[in-house]
Homo-oligomer: A and B are copies of this chain.
Amino acid sequence: MNMQTLHSLLQDVQSGNCSIERALAHLRNFPGESVPDACLDHQRLIRTGIPEVIYGASKTAEQIVSIAEAMLKRGGPVIATRVEREKAEILLQKLPHFHYAGAARMLICNPAAEDPTRYLGRTLVISAGTSDIPVAEEARLTLESLGHPVDKLYDAGVAGIHRLLSRQQLLQQAKVIIVVAGMEGALPSVVGGLVSCPVIAVPTSVGYGASFGGIAALLGMLNSCAPGLAVVNIDNGFGAACMAEAINRK
C-alpha cells in the first residue's frame, strides 16, 4: 500500500469507481488476517522480499500444522526452522510434502530453483568448525530454498589459518559471505580483513565454560576491527540468510 496505490485508490473513490465501503475495506483488512493463535502477514513478501517463516521452537505441533497449511495455499516456499526431530516426525505425518533437513532442524516445502539472474552474485557460507555446521546449514538451506546461489566452505577456523588462506579465490568470488563460528568467534575478523564484500557474522553456542552459550563469540564479532562486517543473533543462521538475501537480491 504505497503512495502510488493509495493515489490510485483515492482516484477511484473520486471517480466513483470505488465505493467508500470498499475503500475502507481495503484500508482496514489489507495487511493482516487473523487465524487461530496467529495473524498471517500476507503482505510481508511484498514489503520485505522475504516470505514469513515459521519459528518452530516454541510452537505446538498443532500450531505449526495450521500455519503451514495456510501458507501452502498461498504458494511459494514454506519453511519452518528450529523443529526438533521428535516434533518433525509428528509433523511429517500431517505434512507429507515437507522434507526434514535434520542437521539444520528445518522443514521445507516447495523450495525454489536456483535463479542466478535475480541475484548480484553468489553467497559463500563458511563454518569455523565441524560443530558449527548445523547453524551454517540453516543459513545455506534457507538461501537455497529461496533460489539464492550459494556455496560452502566448512571447518576453516583460525587455529589453522592456512586452511582459509589457501581458499582465497573462493573468498574473492563471493558477493556476500556468511561466517559461522563459535568459541572465540575470531574467524569473521580474519575473513573481513581479506575481502571487500560484506561479511555477515553468526556466533554459535558451540563451546563450554566461558563461551557462555555463544556470548564470547558474539562479543568477539561485535568488537571486530575488520571493516564491512555485521552480526546476527547467536545460532541465527536463518537471520544471516535473510540479510544475505536482502543484500544480494537485485
Binding site for B on A (CB under 8 A): 1-3, 6-7, 10-11, 13-14, 16, 20, 23-24, 27-32, 34, 37-39, 41, 43-44, 47-50, 53, 55, 57-59, 63, 67, 82, 129-131, 133, 154-163, 165-166, 168-169, 172, 183-186, 189-190, 192-200, 203, 205-236, 239-240, 242-243, 245-247, 249
The 10 closest A-B pairs by CB, nearest first: A209-B234, A31-B162, A186-B186, A228-B246, A230-B230, A216-B219, A49-B196, A32-B163, A227-B242, A58-B131
B246 touches A234 (CB 8 A): no
Minimum CB distance partner of A230 in chain B: B230
With a cutoff of 8 Å between Cβ atoms, the chain B residues found around residue A190 in the complex are 158-159, 161, 186, 190
With a cutoff of 8 Å between Cβ atoms, the chain B residues found around residue A211 in the complex are 219, 223, 233
A226 touches B162 (CB 8 A): no
Name the contact of A223 in the complex, choosing from B3, B41, B210 (C-beta under 8 A).
B210
With a cutoff of 8 Å between Cβ atoms, the chain B residues found around residue A229 in the complex are 232, 239, 242-243
With a cutoff of 8 Å between Cβ atoms, the chain B residues found around residue A47 in the complex are 193-196
A158 touches B189 (CB 8 A): yes
Name the contact of A184 in the complex, choosing from B53, B82, B185, B213 (C-beta under 8 A).
B185
Name the contact of A31 in the complex, choosing from B30, B166, B198, B206 (C-beta under 8 A).
B166
Minimum CB distance partner of A127 in chain B: B37
Cα–Cα, bound, A242→B233 (Å)? 20
Cα–Cα, bound, A224→B185 (Å)? 9
With A155-B38, A156-B39, A235-B208 as given contacts, are A200 and B48 in contact (CB-CB < 8 Å)? Answer: no
With A158-B189, A228-B246 as given contacts, are A166 and B197 in contact (CB-CB < 8 Å)? Answer: no
State how many angstroms separate the Cβ of A7 from the closest Cβ of chain B: 7
Name the contact of A41 in the complex, choosing from B41, B163, B235 (C-beta under 8 A).
B163
A30 touches B162 (CB 8 A): yes
Instruction: Return 30 A-B CB contacts under 8 Å, by A number.
Output: A2-B169, A3-B24, A3-B28, A10-B20, A11-B20, A14-B20, A31-B166, A39-B156, A48-B192, A55-B131, A157-B225, A158-B158, A183-B224, A183-B225, A184-B225, A186-B186, A197-B246, A209-B223, A209-B234, A210-B233, A215-B219, A219-B219, A222-B231, A222-B232, A222-B233, A227-B246, A228-B242, A228-B246, A229-B239, A230-B232
